[in-house]
Amino acid sequence: MKTIMQNTEEAEPPNSRLTLKPIATRKTSPLHLASVFPTNSQTDIFRKRFYPDASMPDWQDWHWQLRNRITEVKQLEKIIRLTDDERKAIGEGTDALPLSITPYYASLLAPEDPSQPIRRSVVPVSDEHIHSPGEAEDPLGEDNDCAVPGLIHRYPDRVLFLVTNFCSNYCRYCTRSRLVGHEGKYPFSIEQWKKAINYIEATPSIRDVLLSGGDPLTLSDDKLDWLLSQLRHIPHVEMIRIGTKVPMVLPQRITPALVKMLKRHHPLWMSIHCTHPIEHTLEVKKACERLANAGIPLGSQTVLLKGINDNIETMKQLVHSLLRLRIKPYYLYQCDPIIGSAHFRTTVEKGLEIYQGLRGHTTGYAVPNYVIDAPGGGGKIPLLPQTVIGRDGNDILLRNYQGNIYRYPDQREISTDADIIHLRQ
């Protein structure tokens, strides 16, 4: 084990973005080339070392990636040097959120550094078995707003349609850790989908359907096509959104066939769960390019996580990198208080400091909405630094991003006879 790790580090420093150069893929016909991904060199070295029997076509096949997910401690410890705490946490986690990491994503983990941001996001530690005050299994109260199983109808004009409990990777801070990865606890089936579709069809106020889960992009093309077609046949459904982490953890899933199918269901939007700029490899770039070229507007959803992305510099790198990937930074979430999340949750004060470090200091498109999804089902509430600081007569007093105060001559409402007389004079 030690030798393997030493060799890995000698070959290439883990997760250095500077080393992510394309490598030549196998010789292939121009037609086939369209479906082949570039592979970053760090990942390719990893593949040859830990999966010597996997050919490049195997590796680039998303089904192969799913079949070979890392789900057990004995697989993971061949790839990274586990700490005692990580090993213990995985062993204790039989009822908790399972372990699952695609071989591709595993290639980006730092073998020797348990504090590496993306390693922390997928490898369990014992803190996740601690239940702290204010934490709950279903902090957003989603189960209370289920119109039919798997369909959450909280706002009049839109629904959250949970279509699967499966993800290729399980994020240790997942809001839906109560249901993802647990066979049987929250069963999902075509029959259940049909009930949800019937409900949407019978409810004309619903104009927006968000598919989530679990990760909808882990479904087969055929199933997803069927689902999208059913929704598209409902006249009052104006837009469909897909919430997914797949482009970041399983970019090989974004095949030409998938995007060709998705294109048939416009207007279709995609919210991509992004955690850290380390995720933004050549493979991810290619996946996002395919989605964006198919005319799918891409927005990001990022959870603010302690020691992972909770500083201005990392967040700035992340949002700039997202824009280069043609993803609009959309939401920055305060971490939901699921059970065992205390070690991930950072203060709101820190979140506002990061927000202030972006707003005005970089392109407006790069600044996400910083929100708390209110525990108990209150919906997303924006968190904003105070910019309107008062009034002086008709002038409104405003604070800019540098802390300087400016006046704006506010237009007063004409509401009383006294106002009208005053204006006539």
Using CB under 6 A as the binding criterion, the count of chain residues that bind ligand SF4 stands at 11
Active site residue 53: no
Minimum CB separation from ligand SF4 for residue 287, in Å? 15
d(CA 255, CA 247): 11
- In the region spanning residues 158 to 187, those forming contacts with ligand SF4, defined by CB under 6 A, are 167, 170-171, 174, 176, 180
CB 79 within 8 A of CB 109: yes
Among 153, 245, 280, 286, binds ligand SF4 (CB under 6 A): 245
Contact segment (CB under 6 A) with ligand SF4 among 49-57, 79-87, 136-144, 207-215 equals 207-215
Binding of ligand SF4 at residue 209 (CB under 6 A)?
no
Binding of ligand SF4 at residue 298 (CB under 6 A)?
no
CB closer to ligand SF4, 171 vs 282 = 171
Minimum CB separation from ligand SF4 for residue 141, in Å? 17
- CA-nearest of 229, 206, 216 to 153 is 206
CB closer to ligand SF4, 206 vs 242 = 242
Active site residue 158: yes
Minimum CB separation from ligand SF4 for residue 397, in Å? 41
Active site residue 174: yes
CB closer to ligand SF4, 213 vs 277 = 213
Active site residue 391: no
Binding of ligand SF4 at residue 215 (CB under 6 A)?
yes
Of the candidates 69, 119, 158, 286, the residue annotated as catalytic is 158
Binding of ligand SF4 at residue 273 (CB under 6 A)?
yes
CB closer to ligand SF4, 101 vs 237 = 101
Binding of ligand SF4 at residue 285 (CB under 6 A)?
no
Backbone angles phi, psi at 423, to 5 degrees: -70, -40
Active site residue 167: yes
Kindly list the residues in this chain that would bind ligand SF4 in the complex (CB under 6 A): 167, 170-171, 174, 176, 180, 213-215, 245, 273
Catalytic residues: 154-155, 158, 167, 171, 174, 176, 336, 373, 380
